Amino acid sequence: MRTKTGTFVPKTGTNVHLEADAADYRTAIAAALRDELGLTHRAVKTAMRWTGASERTVKYWIAGERGPSGEHLIALARHSDIVFHMVLLLADRHDGADAE
């Protein structure tokens, strides 16, 4: 049996705690999608049509298990006023935290 060889990057340095921010983001976007679309299969299909994302991906977003990134977030914000406002609120909240 052959062992896997190669290089690895050691885990050193400063720990940055982004998990809380990521959870807040996922929860906020999920709430916005549920408010805008509801929890039906039609809601999933609508978000799929807006973004081009897969059904499983959209279900993760609505459940708050994962959050949309990049082009998907922009597409959601383009089609949903609630998502758009949520993104602005999240950006404003984090901008205020940087000023402290």
Give tens-digit pLDDT for 6-58: 666 555 655 444 455 777 899 999 999 999 999 999 999 999 999 999 999 99
The answer to whether position 92 is within a domain reads yes
The answer to whether position 24 is within a domain reads yes
Q: Does pLDDT of 99 surpass 60?
A: no
The answer to whether position 65 is within a domain reads yes
The CATH number for 25's domain is 1.10.260
> Helix, strand, or coil here: 5?
coil
Distance CA 46, CA 58 (A): 10
29: Cβ contacts below 8 Å, ≥ 6 apart: 61, 64, 67, 68, 73, 76, 83, 86, 87
The answer to whether position 15 is within a domain reads no
The more confidently predicted of residues 47 and 91 is 47
Range(s) of the domain holding residue 95 = 20-99
Residues 58-82 have a mean pLDDT of 95
For the chain, the domain total comes to 1
Residues 63-88 have a mean pLDDT of 94
